[in-house]
Amino acid sequence: MDTRLPSYDWPELEKGWVWLCGAGPGDPGLLTLHALNALRQADVVIYDALVQVAILDWAPQAEHIYAGKRGGKPSAKQRDISLQLVDLAKTGKRVLRLKGGDPFVFGRGGEEAQTLVQHGVPVRIIPGISAGIGGLAYAGIPVTHRDVNQSVTFVTGHDQSGNATQSLDWHSIAKGSQVIVIYMGMKHISQITASLTDAGRPLSEPVAVVTSATTKDQQVIETTLGTIEADIAKAGLEPPAIICVGKAVRMRDVLNWQAQAEGIPPVNLDPLGRGRPAESA
């Protein structure tokens, strides 16, 4: 495949700049063209644990620095990473900071950018496809669907200290959010499901767990709030995982396009039982 960039007025990654860039959820094809343009120009790429290393092959000229940290563990010092970016920029490098998904969605990209700006380093932000949207799409789950939800809530399963997110008003979320997409939810799944069911969500509510979404290791289970913990254990699922709570999960019966591509027919063409063509008003 020809991966030259099409002719366009592409921005130049200049010396002393940091581009903070989303790498998408995994599949390298989900990079943006701005990300590819950045990979082509960088002197140094600092990447997270969730970035697929195959993507680094597209920056063979650059030094690759791993700045990984995984959920809950005492962070490989967020401040150190931010200051390393500052140092690299100040030494005149063209710095590409590559983060999983979208840099501003539960990824501390905002903090890194803030530190850079505070130190007078010029930044550019390149959004990416967040796992909570693109990862679910690969599993055949639309985060919004006219027949299902007019809102969607993205939440994180743990806070800065690695504990279950105390500051979240789970009651309001359970009441007000038709579809809830949970990042970093595996560790505290029992507390999260208890909070949701205590607040009135039924034990039978459909839930999907998608691990390593969009990669060749992607696994998807469909379960319910009542059975999720046991089913995660049974399937031996490991993070990273996106957990989707709500009727949107039912749409997978018709929209599991990856299974269909392998010749497995849809489970149900009308999973919400509307009894009418999908596009009718």
Q: Is 107 in the site for ligand SAH (CB under 6 A)?
A: yes
Q: Is 31 in the site for ligand SAH (CB under 6 A)?
A: no
Q: CA–CA separation, 131 vs 25, rounded Å?
A: 5
Of 93 and 195, nearer to ligand SAH (C-beta) is 195
146-175 residues near ligand SAH, rule: CB under 6 A: none
Q: CA–CA separation, 14 vs 245, rounded Å?
A: 43
Query: Is there a catalytic annotation at residue 1?
Result: no
Q: Is 50 in the site for ligand SAH (CB under 6 A)?
A: yes
Number of helical H runs and strand E runs in the chain: 9, 10
Return all residues near 127 (Cβ < 8 A) that are at least 6 apart: 22, 32, 102, 103, 104
Q: Is 137 in the site for ligand SAH (CB under 6 A)?
A: no
Query: Is there a catalytic annotation at residue 87?
Result: no
Q: Which of 69, 231, 247, 253 is catalytic?
A: 69
Q: Is 183 in the site for ligand SAH (CB under 6 A)?
A: yes
Q: How far is the CB of 241 from ligand SAH (least distance, A)?
A: 5
Q: Which of 27, 99, 102, 184 is catalytic?
A: 184
Q: Which of 48, 93, 102, 186 is catalytic?
A: 48
Report the side by side order of strands in the sheet with 152-156.
Answer: 152-156, 179-183, 241-245, 206-211, 219-224
Pattern of binders to ligand SAH over 64-83, x per CB under 6 A? -------x------------
Report the side by side order of strands in the sheet with 44-47.
Answer: 63-66, 44-47, 95-99, 18-22, 123-126
Of 239 and 266, nearer to ligand SAH (C-beta) is 239
Q: Which span sits near ligand SAH by CB under 6 A: 101-109, 118-126, 200-208, 225-233?
A: 101-109
Q: How far is the CB of 151 from ligand SAH (least distance, A)?
A: 19
Cis peptide before 271 (omega within 30 of 0): no
Out of 121, 126, 174, 184, the only residue in the binding site for ligand SAH (CB under 6 A) is 184
Q: CA–CA separation, 146 vs 50, rounded Å?
A: 32
Q: How far is the CB of 133 from ligand SAH (least distance, A)?
A: 8
CA 157 centroid distance within chain: 13
CA 140 centroid distance within chain: 15
* CA separation, residue 258 to residues 34, 218, 222 (Å): 27, 11, 15
Q: CA–CA separation, 135 vs 37, rounded Å?
A: 23
Query: Is there a catalytic annotation at residue 90?
Result: no
Of 196 and 213, nearer to ligand SAH (C-beta) is 213
Structure tokens at 210: 């998608």
Pattern of binders to ligand SAH over 195-224, x per CB under 6 A? ---------------xxxxx----------
Q: Which span sits near ligand SAH by CB under 6 A: 54-62, 93-101, 116-124, 268-276?
A: 93-101
Contact between 136 and 181 under an 8 Å Cβ cutoff? The reply is: yes
Other C-beta atoms lying within 10 Å of the C-beta of residue 36:
19
Q: How far is the CB of 163 from ligand SAH (least distance, A)?
A: 15
What residues are labeled active site? 48, 69, 184
Positions touching ligand SAH (CB under 6 A) are 25-26, 50, 71, 99-102, 105-107, 130-131, 135, 183-184, 210-214, 239-242
